[in-house]
Structure 1
Amino acid sequence: MEEEQFADMSEDADEVKDKLAQLRCHFTWELLIEDTELPDLENRIFDEIDFLDTKYNVGIHNLLAYVKHLKGQNQEALGSLKEAEDLIQQEHAAQSDARSLVTWGNYAWLYYHMGRPAEAQAYLDMVESTCQKFEAPSRYRMECPQMDCEEGWALLKCGGKNYERAKACFEKALAVEPENPEFSTGYAITIYRLDVFSTAAEASEAFCLQPLKEAIRLNPKDAYIKALLALKLQDVGQEAEGEKYIEEALTNMSSQTYVFRYAAKFYRRKGSLDKALQLLKMALRATPSSAFLHHQIGLCYRAQMIEIKRAANWQPRGKDRENVDRMIRLALSHFQFALEQKPTFDVAYIHLASMYIEAGDYGRAEDTYQRAFCLKSLEEEKLQKIHFHYGQFQEFQKKSEVNAIIHYLKAVKIDKAPFLKDKSMKSLEKLALRKLRRNASDVESLSILGFIYKVKGEMNKALEYYERALRLAADFGNSETGSLAVEI
C-alpha cells in the first residue's frame, strides 16, 4: 500500500513539473548566472530597490526571490515574492491578474523545490485561470508584451551573457506597443550596455543614441537615462552636448546615487578627476559594496598617478614620487575590493595587474593575470583584451619575447575587437622586426611577418615571408621551426 502511495506521489510530482516547465518566470528563463556572481548580483538588486526611482519595481523583487532560492534561502525567497505581490496590489490593482503571472509562476516553482506540491499546484491553478480569462492558447503560458518586458528586465540585470536575449525581448514588446515608456527604457538601456561592450573603434556607430533619445522623449523625468545618453554623446565626440544632459540629471533628485555614478564616469573621462572622485564618494556612502564604484574610484587614482608622472617627465622624485606611490596604493585597494565583490569583473583584473606592475610587484601581477585567464565562460573579446595586456607585460616587464609572441598571436587570432587586433598585430610586427634586425635568419620572425601580411590581406608579401622562412627551415634541417612557419 505504501509503495502505491509513493508511486502516486511521484506521478503527481512529475505531472506538476511538466506544468511548471510551461510557465514564464525566472525559473524557466534560463538566466545565465555563475555562483561567484551571486553576491554582487544580490548587492546590485538591493541597491536598485533602495536607490533607483522606478515604476517597475515588481520585477526586481521577483529576481531577488530567485537569487535567494539559488543561495538555498527558500523561506527568504517567499518573503521577496510577498513583497512583489504587495507592490502589484499598490501599483497595478486594476490589472493585477496579468501582472501577477510571473510572481505566481515563481511561487509555484519555489513550493515545488520546497517539496510542497499541493501549494505549487494552487499557484498553477491561478495561472491557468488567468490564461483562460485572457483566452491564451496555452493553459499555463501567456504571450503578451508585458511578459516579454518582464523577461527582458530579468535578463538585463543578470549580466552581459544575457544582453542579446534581453534585447530580443524588448524588441518583441515594442513591436506590439512602440510608445510604451517602460519597454522603451528597457530597450535603450540594453542597447547602451551592448554598445559599451563593443570596441572603441566601433563606438562612433553608437547604436544606442536614438533609442536613448526615444526613451527620454517617453520618460522626460528619467535622470538615469539622461546620464547614459550623456556618456554615449561623450563617446562620439559630442562632450559639450553630453555635459548639458549630465548637469540636467544632477539637478534632478531622482535616482541620485545612480546619476552620481555615471556623472563621475563622464567627468573622469573628461579629465575632471577631483569632481569625479567627489561624486563617486557621495555615491559610495549610499552603496559601499558597489564593485562598479570601487572600480571607478581606482581608475580615478590611476589617472591621477599618470598625471603626476607626466608632469614630472615620467621620472617622479621626492614629493612627486610619494604622491605616485600613494595613488598606486589607493588604486590597488579599490581594484582589490571590486574583485572581492565581483570575482567575474574581467577588466578589473587588467587594471589591478597594471597597478601591481606600477608598484614593481611582478609576482602579484602574474597571479592576477592567471586568475583572469581562469575565469569561466569569458567572452572572446574580453579574452582577447587579457591576451594583449598579458603580452605587453611579458614583453616589457618580464622581457620574454617568446611569451609575448604567444599571447599577441592569441589576441590576433580572436577575430572580435578590430581595435585590439590592430594593436596586437602592431606589437607582433615590432617584435618580429626587432628580432630580425638581430638575426636575419630568424625563421619564427619571418613566419610571424608572413602571418601578419596574410591577416592584412597582402598575400604577395605574406608569401614572400613564408617562402623565406620555409627555405631557411629546410636549409637548417630544423623540422620544429619549419612546422612553426607552416602553422602560423
Structure 2
Amino acid sequence: MSEESDGKLIEDSLIQLRCHFTWKLLIEAPEIPDLENRIWEEIQFLDTKYNGGIHNLLAYVKHLKGQNEEALKSLKEAEDLMQKEHANQASVRSLVTWSNFAWVYYHMGRLAEAQAYLDKVENICKKPSNPFRYRMECPEIDCEEGWALLKCGGKNYERAKACFEKALEGDHENPEFSTGYAISAYRLDGFKLATKGYRQFSLLPLRQAVSLNPDNGYLKVLLALKLQDNGQEAEGEKYLEEALANMSSQTYVFRYAAKFYRRKGSVDKALELLKKALQETPTSVLLHHQIGLCYKAQMIQIKEATKGQPRGQNREKIDKMIRLAIFHFESAVENKPTFEVAHLDLARMYIEAGNHRKAEETFQKLLCMKPVVEETMQDIHLQYARFQEFQKKSEINAIIHYLKAIKIEQTSFIRDKSINSLKKLVLKKLQRNALDLESLSLLGFVYKLKGNMNEALEYYERALRLAADFENSVRQGP
C-alpha cells in the first residue's frame, strides 16, 4: 500500500477520535497568545487535582503555532500526570492524550507513530458494549472536552456547560464534573447580566461544587461574587474570607476577591490584591482590566465628591487616575486584541482624557468586531452614539448609532438606555424646530417601542400631515 493511501486511511481514523483536534474549539488567531499565557498561569498558579487536561490543551496550542516538537513534550507531560492523578483509570483518561499524539504525529508526517497511538486507542475502545472503533462515550472524556471549551473563550461556554451536564448525568457527586459545571454556569451568568428577564442559575451549582470541594478557594471566591450579585453580600464575605485565609490558588483568589471589594466600594483594598497578583502574572489580561476599572472607580469617587467640579489637587488626582486606567486598559487590549469590553472601557477613558482621536480609533476597531454577546454590540453602538452626540456634536451620527443599538432586538437595559437617549435627543431637536419631519417620525418610533401606541400614532400622523403639506407646497410652486 502506498504512503499516500496509508495517510488517507489514518486520516479517516483520526477524524473518529475524541480530542482537541476534533472538538472544533473556536479560537481566533489573535487570541492564541493570551490563551497560551492563561494556560501557563493555570499550570503555575491554580492548585488542582486535575492537571493532565491543561497540558493537552497546551499541546494543541503549540501545534496551532507550528511547534509540533513542543506539542509532543506537553503530551508526554499530560500522559505522566494522568498516570499519577488517575492511576485506577489511567487508560481511559489517557484516551484524549493518545488521540492528540496520533494527530500531532500525523501532521508531522510520522505515520507509523500516528498508527501506533491509534492502535493504543483502539485497544481501550474494544469492548462488547462499545460500537465505535476509535472512540468511547464516557463522562471523563465529556469532562475533558468541557475543560478545553471553557478555557478557549466565551464562544465555547454553552458547549462547555453541556459537556459538564452530560458528565454529571453519569456521576452526580463527582467533584471535578461539579466544578466544571459551576464555573461554566458562572461565566454564562456573567454574559447575561445586562439581559432583562434573564434568570441567573449559577448560585446552586456553585454551592454544590463548594460542598464537594471544601478546600477549593477559587470556587469559594466565585460563590462569594455570585452571592454579592444576589444581594447576599454578608454571606459572600464569609466565603471570601475563607478563600483568602486558604493558601490555595492565591493568585486566582486575589483576582476575584479584588472584584468583590471594588464592587463593595473598597477600591484601595481591591488594588492592593490586584497588584500582588500582578507581580506573579504581569501579562494577565484580566488583572490589567480589573486594575483599570479600579482607577476608573477612584476617578468617579473624586468627581462625585466634588460634584463634577474638581480643582487643584483633586483635578491632578483625576488626571493621574485617567492616565493609569488608560495604561492598564491598553495593556489588556494589547495582550488580547479581541477583548471587546476592555476596548470599550479604553474608549471611554480616552474621552475622559479629551483624546477624541484615539477614542474614535478605538470605536472604529470595536465596530468591526463580532462580540459573542449581543448586549456588548448594543453597548458599543450606545457609547459611540453618545460620543458622537456630546463630544463630536454630530446629531446625525448619534441617531444612526442609537438606532443600530435599538435594532439589535435582544431585550436589555442597554437597549432601554439607547431608546431613552434617542428620545432625549429627538425632543431636543424638536425644541429647536417643531416642524422637523425626521424627528417627529423618530419620536413616533420611540413611543411605539415603549408600547405607547396613542402617542406613537399622534407623532406619526403629525409627520404625515407635515409631509403632505410640504408636497402640496412643492406642487403649487412659488
- Residue 267 of structure 2 aligns to which amino acid in structure 1? L
Alpha-carbon contact 1:339-1:348 (below 8 Å) kept? yes
Q: Is 1:288 the equivalent of 2:282?
A: yes
Q: Match for residue 95 of structure 2?
A: 101
Q: Deviation of residue 354 (structure 1)?
A: 1.0
What RMSD over aligned residues (CA atoms) do the two structures have, in Å?
A: 1.5
In structure 2, the CA distance between the partners of 1:228 and 1:126, relative to structure 1 (3 Å rule), is same
1:152 aligns with 2:133: no
Closer, same or farther in 2 for the Cα pair 1:459/1:287, shift >3 Å?
Answer: same
CA offsets 1:280-338 (integer angstroms, 9 cap, x no match): 00110111110000000011111111111222221111111111111111111000001
Query: Hey, what does 2:172 align to over in structure 1?
Result: 178
Residue number among 247, 255, 268 corresponding to 1:274 in the alignment = 268
Q: How does 1:2-401 map to 2 (within 5 A)?
A: 8-133=2-127, 135-200=129-194, 202=196, 205-376=199-370, 378-401=372-395
Distance 1:128 1:338 in 2: 44
Alpha-carbon deviations, 1:12-66, whole Å to 9, x = none? Answer: 1111111111100000000000000000000000000000011111110000000
- Most deviating of 417-426 and 292-301: 417-426
Distance in 2 between residues matched to 1:237 and 1:98, nearest whole Å? 43
Q: Distance in 2 between matches of 1:104 and 1:218?
A: 30
CA positional deviation for 1:340: 0.6
Structure 1 CA distance for aligned equivalents of residues 42 and 110 of structure 2: 31
Q: Give the match's secondary structure for 1:313.
A: coil
Equivalents in 2 of 1:200, 1:242: separation in Å?
22
Distance of aligned partners of 1:393 and 1:408 in 2 relative to their CA distance in 1, 3 Å threshold: same
- Structure 1 range deviating more: 32-41 or 9-18: 9-18
Superposed displacement of residue 433, structure 1: 1.0
Q: Which amino acid aligns with 1:63?
A: L
Distance in structure 2 (CA, Å) of the matches to 1:422 and 1:275? 34
Structure 2: where are the runs of 5+ without partners? Answer: 473-478
Q: Is the 8 A contact 1:111 1:117 kept in 2?
A: yes
Q: What are the ranges of 5 or more consecutive residues in structure 1 without an aligned counterpart?
A: 479-488
Paired with 2:126 and 2:407, the residues of 1 have a C-alpha distance of: 54
**Please, which moves more after superposition, 449-458 or 161-170?**
449-458
1: CA distance between counterparts of 2:199 and 2:237?
20
Is this contact kept in 2: 1:391–1:408, CA < 8 A? yes
Query: Would you say the 8 A contact 2:375–2:412 is kept in 1?
Result: no
Give deviations 1:70-123, integer Å, cap 9, x for gaps.
111111111100100110111112211101000011011111111111111111
Question: What TM-score do the two structures reach when normalised by structure 2?
Answer: 0.96
Q: What does the per-residue CA deviation read over 1:436-457, in whole Å, with 9 as the maximum and x for residues that have no partner? A: 1111111111121222222223
Q: d(CA) in 2 for partners of 1:10 and 1:475?
A: 78
SS at match of 2:386: helix
Tell me the distance in 2 between the aligned counterparts of 1:259 and 1:294: 15
Whether the 8 Å CA contact 1:209–1:229 is kept in 2: the answer is yes
1:176 Cα deviation from its structure 2 partner? 1.4
Pair 1:466 & 2:464 matched = no
* Further displaced range: 225-234 or 455-464: 455-464
Deviation at 1:203, TM superposition (A): 8.6
Report the CA distance shift for 1:407/1:268 in structure 2 as closer, same or farther (over 3 A).
Answer: same
- Counterpart AA for 2:130: A
Q: Deviations over 1:207-262 (max 9, x none)?
A: 11011001111111111111001111111111111111111110001010000000
Distance between the aligned counterparts of 2:310 and 2:197, measured in 1?
35
> Which residue is equivalent to 2:476?
none
Preserved contact between residue 340 and residue 371 of structure 2 (Cα < 8 Å): no
SS of alignment partner, residue 440 of structure 2? helix
TM-score (norm. length: structure 1): 0.94
1:477 to 466, 471, 475: 471
Q: CA deviation at 1:401?
A: 1.0
8 A contact 2:154–2:372 mirrored in 1:
no
Is this contact kept in 1: 2:371–2:377, CA < 8 A?
A: no
Report percent identity of matched pairs.
70
Q: Partners of 2:107 and 2:242 in 1: how far apart?
A: 48
- Confirm or deny: 8 A CA contact 1:209 1:232 kept in the other structure: yes
